[in-house]
Structure 1
Amino acid sequence: MKATASRMSSPPATVSPAVAHRTTTKTALFVALALALIASVIVSAGTGQLGVPPQEVLGSLLHRIGIDWLPLPAHPAGDATLWAIRFPRVAMAALVGAGLSVAGLLMQAIFGNPLAEPGVIGISSGAAVGAGLAIVFGLTVFGEWTTAVFAFAAGLGATLLVYAMSRADGRTEVVTLVLTGIAVNAIAGAAIALLTFLGDTQSREQIVFWQLGSLAGSRWTQVLIVAPVVAFGLLAAYFAARKLDLLSLGERNARHLGVNVEVLRIAMIFVVALLTGAAVAFAGIISFVGLVIPHLMRMVLGPAHLPLVTASALGGALLLTLADLAARTIVPNADMPIGMLTALVGGPFFFWLLRRTRKRSGGWG
């Protein structure tokens, strides 16, 4: 009786300071990323040869859902420009950025190292080869989906090749992963060069578009294709988050805890190829988004994959929205390739990460 009374009168369990700090950090990061993404979308949509003030951009958005709080664009062509050109491009930037970032996060999880990324190990260039084949030979097997399907299939093939060749003694070797990626990129580059040689003038221009990466000419019909793909990829990443946490403990431990490691890897490889193929099919090769963002989010949030999926999606969308804004504004009256800008940021970051990983492992030998 006394023991029961003692248990009933005991104070409730308190949350440890470390857990409270992590929760606060996670919440603050999510709020900051979401607000920054909203601000970047509004600013990006209003920036261009026809400038639209932020309150008018918001007014146009709210007016479409029946809320007349803010004014519509004062310029006669302002509202039409926003909905026909700006909003589809901004939406595509956010979707592609989120998809590539989550793809990079999944690759780092299934390969077990921070150097994995769709562009670094050749998946993006492989997908570009598939898109190039559809363009040069005028394939229309799947209608308007033909280019996307070929990009997806080629990206999946490149992913499986890299995965198979980077495995040794039941684990994935970092050096082999990077070297295999270099080889795949080289082969894909040669294939793209051959396709450029074989194609006509229009095909060559489209292939150059894939190589440089650009969101120019994005349309709502393309957004409606990419959006379900990214949504599916995010849902798959959320459902697999706990198993990816277990996989980070090591393959043997994950198996003992009930995870079918090979099935998980193959499923996540399929998701990565789907996300990357959709992005490359409509935006070309945009490298390093999947390397920079997941690594930065992991440095802030830690290794748990459930919050990392959300943070990576928001961070990737923010990065590519800002990169697209820079591509349209750095050079007056010109549209720079967005893939070039992400490479300028991601290349030095990859170099730093490579040296950091080598130092931690005590060298590659």
Structure 2
Amino acid sequence: MAGGAAAVVALALLSIAFGSTVIPLHDVLRAIAGALGLGDGQGSGPVASIVVELRLPRTILAVLVGAGLGIVGALLQTVTRNDLADPFLFGLSSGAAAGAVSVITVFGDRLGIWTLPVAAFSGGILAALVVLGLVSRIHSQGPERLILGGLAVSFLFTALTNYLVFAGDQRAAHSVLFWTMGGLGLARWDNIGLALVGTASVGGFALRSHRSLDALLAGESTAESLGVPVARLRWSTFLVSAFATALLVAVAGVIGFVGLMIPHLSRRLAGELHFRLILACAVFGAVIVLASDLLARTLLPPQELPIGIVTSSLGAVFVVWMLLRPRQER
């Protein structure tokens, strides 16, 4: 955890320093100190504006998105008993993507700067409600039903997104492509509060429910015998995860595989019990997204790659690594 926290700080400073214009680290620290009212009062000017108004919000958003998606992945893997569960398996991100694409290609910017986040959040929540409504029609409460319902909704909203891309304004195709692959370019001081609310809500829920989640590791029957309301815990976890994912996708787009990779990596370092696991997922999720964003901005200058390309590449390597490990090590 100490190493992970140090990596977060180091990557955050590098993320602020590197970009289309490289800023020396001492200027970065001076600008941040000036914004906090510290230092010698020299933290002003164009460099300070770049640091404080553009790069610092982006870095904070990367930390929040990585931490939030990592925690959501850990919760979903626990309550579904599925090692491949993540926010995108349940259609949450597909619904948010469909909402955002509908604004970009069809409806237009009717609510100003808040149009895209509101549409993406609405799409994510709609997808979650459809999944819950679909599963509630089936009397079984097993986690496999939730997974199948999520997959069906994910395919449905993906098809809707593709239809909107082809039926809408073709000139917006580049914006759609970049947004559906994820990016932190929308980060501003006035919208990172959405990501903060999403990460804080799922993190607070996970820490408050960590003992019930630990009991669930021993099986549903054992958890029920210990007084854990398994069905209610599963639905509560899914709703909180849907809420957090919708908020995160609303400001950062679809960033894949973070919720899948981070819980597995964190368990090898922090163990299975959820108090330490949740903290580890938050720290190492922030590390992965910060590092991926830094690579996305520096691999193909002066262009900026969608961050989803980097995380998907890492995720593909991770899944292959999982498959090739001996069974006793999984």
Task: Provide the TM-score with structure 1 as the length reference.
Answer: 0.80
Distance 1:88 1:77, change over 3 A: same
Q: Map 1:3-152 to 2 at 5 A.
A: 30-68=1-39, 72=43, 76-135=45-104, 136-138=106-108, 144=115, 146-152=118-124
- For 2:132, the aligned partner's letter is L
**In 1: Cα distance, 2:107 partner to 2:158 partner:** 18
Q: Deviations over 1:330-349 (max 9, x none)?
A: 11201001001100000231
Aligned to 1:346: 315
Aligned to 1:325: 294
- For 2:107, the aligned partner's letter is F
The answer (yes or no) to whether the contact 1:291–1:350 under 8 Å persists in 2 is no
Shift of 1:140: 5.6
Distance 1:182 1:354, change over 3 A: farther
Shift of 1:133: 3.4
The answer (yes or no) to whether the contact 2:258–2:315 under 8 Å persists in 1 is yes
Q: What root-mean-square deviation, in Å, do the aligned CA atoms of Structure 1 and Structure 2 show? A: 3.1
Of stretches 48-57 and 252-261 in structure 1, the one that deviates more from structure 2 is 48-57
Distance 1:106 1:164, change over 3 A: farther
Identity of aligned residues (%): 34
Distance 1:289 1:181, change over 3 A: same
The answer (yes or no) to whether the contact 1:110–1:265 under 8 Å persists in 2 is yes
Question: Any idea what SS the aligned residue of 1:59 has?
Answer: helix
- Of 139, 150, 162, which residue of structure 2 is paired with 1:193? 162
**In 2: Cα distance, 1:115 partner to 1:161 partner:** 23
Shift of 1:172: 3.2
Shift of 1:242: 0.9
Aligned to 1:246: 215
Distance 1:351 1:265, change over 3 A: same
The question of 1:278 aligning with 2:247 is answered yes
User: Unaligned 5+ residue runs, structure 1?
Assistant: 1-29, 361-365
Shift of 1:83: 1.3
**In 2: Cα distance, 1:347 partner to 1:161 partner:** 32
Please identify the structure whose Cα radius of gyration is greater: 1
Shift of 1:128: 1.2
- For 1:151, the aligned partner's letter is G
Aligned to 1:153: 125
User: Unaligned 5+ residue runs, structure 2?
Assistant: none
Give the number of equivalent residue pairs: 327
Distance 1:40 1:161, change over 3 A: farther
Q: Map 1:174-213 to 2 at 5 A.
A: 177=147, 183-201=152-170, 203-213=172-182
Aligned to 1:15: none
Of stretches 289-298 and 146-155 in structure 1, the one that deviates more from structure 2 is 146-155
Distance 1:42 1:71, change over 3 A: farther
Q: Map 1:282-361 to 2 at 5 A.
A: 282-353=251-322, 359=327
- For 1:217, the aligned partner's letter is L
Distance 1:262 1:69, change over 3 A: farther
**In 1: Cα distance, 2:8 partner to 2:24 partner:** 17
**In 2: Cα distance, 1:48 partner to 1:60 partner:** 16
- Of 225, 229, 234, which residue of structure 1 is paired with 2:194? 225
